């Protein structure tokens, strides 16, 4: 089995390290002039992990033609551009795995739907999602994750091949719910960071409860299983997103309130915009998502936005 990981950011590089760690033949692709690939060339590490010498660094996408499995871990809004690049290569009978979370803003499509527009029918598409941070995995802290696909044989094959003492994989059974739930948790992470910035961390319990309920309504509206929101794709990922110091979305939300600059990727910023559009399309009320959207895109004061949540019409909890 030959595997290529596309994307040398913190998740892509961790995945390459992990798969090498469990004995797979792994290459990591990145642009030759990228700062991440430069660091790996010079030091073998990126400040989070140290790659083994058995992990090959590649800079030409044509080399992925020899891979059996292609794992993609890049910013969600750049996925379509990548798939346009991959069109010129002979990619058949491959497994594409998306280890990334988001919704395409321009089309409101799930990421697996974007990939399906470009790949040959002989290929299979799967998603790899769930809680954890590369920093914690690398120091040996285990966690549970999910692999889901429309293709049952592909899903079972990947879970059996990739499971280890470090990551216990579960079989997903709701691709819509798992993709939407995974993307939406980053929006909740921004809201959690805003609460931290306002010294209102005690409200995180309510945020988690109501946030999960909100996302479950959207999943159901889109034809998925609403209970998926209570699984590893969403609620199960809250500790890593809502509380962890490593959560980039939580930190982004905190900086929104405190006025600090934040220059790292926070996928929830883009997902909030896509989710608001999905809520309108499927007639689903998404008050927390709307609050995050208003703060991010309409420059609304976070305290005012939070106050409006509490002044909403009183409803039954369920």
Check: CB of residue 147 under 8 Å from CB of residue 122.
no
The stretch 268-282 carries a mean pLDDT of: 97
Query: CATH assignment of 183-310, given 3.30.300.30, 1.10.1040.10, 1.10.10.60, 2.40.50.100?
Result: 1.10.1040.10
2-171 against 183-310: fold identical: no
User: What does the pLDDT look like over 175-214, one tens digit per residue?
Assistant: 999 999 999 999 999 999 999 999 999 999 999 999 999 9
The stretch 274-281 carries a mean pLDDT of: 97
The stretch 242-248 carries a mean pLDDT of: 93
pLDDT score of 308:
82
Q: Where are the domains of the chain?
A: 2-171, 183-310
65 conformational bin, left if phi > 0, alpha if psi -120 to 50, beta if neither: alpha
Q: Distance between CA atoms of 318 and 310, rounded to whole angstroms?
A: 17
Does the predicted model carry a pTM greater than 0.85? yes
Q: Distance between CA atoms of 141 and 112, rounded to whole angstroms?
A: 29
Average pLDDT, the chain: 95
> What is the fold, at CATH topology level, of the domain defined by 2-171?
Rossmann fold (3.40.50)
pLDDT score of 2:
97
Q: Residue 81 is encoded by which pair of tokens? A: 């551009």
User: What does the pLDDT look like over 215-240, one tens digit per residue?
Assistant: 999 999 999 999 999 999 999 999 99
Q: Name the pLDDT band for 167 (thresholds 50, 70, 90).
A: very high
pLDDT score of 112:
98
pLDDT of 313 strictly over 70: no
pLDDT of 256 strictly over 70: yes
pLDDT score of 314:
65
Catalytic annotation on 185? yes
Which position among 94, 109, 155, 185 bears the catalytic label?
185
User: What does the pLDDT look like over 102-152, one tens digit per residue?
Assistant: 999 999 999 999 999 999 999 999 999 999 999 999 999 999 999 999 999
Q: Distance between CA atoms of 166 and 144, rounded to whole angstroms?
A: 8
pLDDT of 166 strictly over 90: yes
Q: Are β-strands 25-29 and 2-6 bridged in parallel, bridged antiparallel, or unpaired?
A: parallel
Q: Distance between CA atoms of 55 and 22, rounded to whole angstroms?
A: 12
* pLDDT over 70 percentage in the chain: 99
User: What does the pLDDT look like over 14-59, one tens digit per residue?
Assistant: 999 999 999 999 999 999 999 999 999 999 999 999 999 999 999 9
DSSP string, the chain: -EEEEE--SHHHHHHHHHHHHTT-EEEEE--TTSHHHHHHHHHSB-SS-B--TTSEEE--GGGGGG-SEEEE-S-GGGHHHHHHHHTTS---S-EEEE----B-TTT--BHHHHHHTTS-TT-EEEEEE-S--HHHHHTT--EEEEEEES-HHHHHHHHHHH--SSEEEEE---HHHHHHHHHHHHHHHHHHHHHHHTT-GGGHHHHHHHHHHHHHHHHHHTTS-GGGGGSTTTGGGHIIIII-TT-HHHHHHHHHHHT----S--HHHHHHHHHHHHHHHHT---HHHHHHHHHHHS---HHHHHHHHHTSPP----
């Amino acid at each position: 089995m030959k595997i290529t990981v596309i994307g040398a950011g913190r998740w892509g590089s961790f995945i390459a390290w992990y798969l090498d760690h469990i004995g797979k033949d792994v290459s990591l692709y990145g642009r030759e002039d990228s700062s991440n690939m430069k660091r790996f060339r010079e030091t073998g590490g990126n400040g989070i992990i140290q790659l083994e010498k058995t992990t090959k660094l590649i800079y030409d996408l044509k080399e992925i033609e020899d891979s059996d499995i292609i794992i993609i871990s890049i910013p969600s809004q750049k996925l379509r551009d990548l798939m346009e690049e991959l069109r010129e290569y002979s990619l058949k009978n491959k497994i594409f795995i998306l280890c990334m979370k988001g919704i395409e803003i321009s089309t409101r499509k799930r990421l697996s739907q974007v990939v399906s527009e470009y790949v040959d029918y002989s290929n299979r598409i799967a998603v790899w999602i769930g809680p954890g941070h590369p920093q914690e995995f690398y120091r040996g802290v285990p966690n549970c994750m999910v692999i889901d696909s429309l293709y049952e044989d592909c899903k079972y094959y990947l879970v059996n091949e990739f499971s280890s003492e470090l990551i216990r994989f579960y079989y997903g059974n709701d691709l819509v719910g798992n993709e939407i739930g995974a993307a939406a948790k980053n929006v909740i992470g921004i809201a959690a960071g805003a609460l931290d910035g306002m010294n209102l961390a005690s409200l995180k319990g309510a945020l988690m409860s109501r946030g999960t309920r909100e996302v479950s309504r959207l999943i159901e509206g889109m034809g998925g299983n609403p209970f998926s929101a209570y699984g590893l794709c969403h609620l199960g990922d809250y500790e890593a997103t809502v509380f962890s110091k490593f959560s980039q979305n939580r930190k982004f939300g905190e900086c929104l309130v405190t006025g600090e600059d934040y220059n790292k990727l926070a996928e929830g910023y883009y997902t909030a915009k896509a989710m608001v559009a999905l809520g309108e399309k499927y007639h689903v009320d998404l008050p927390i998502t709307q609050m995050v959207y208003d703060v991010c895109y309409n420059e609304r004061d976070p305290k005012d936005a939070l106050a409006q949540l509490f002044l909403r019409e009183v409803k039954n909890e369920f």
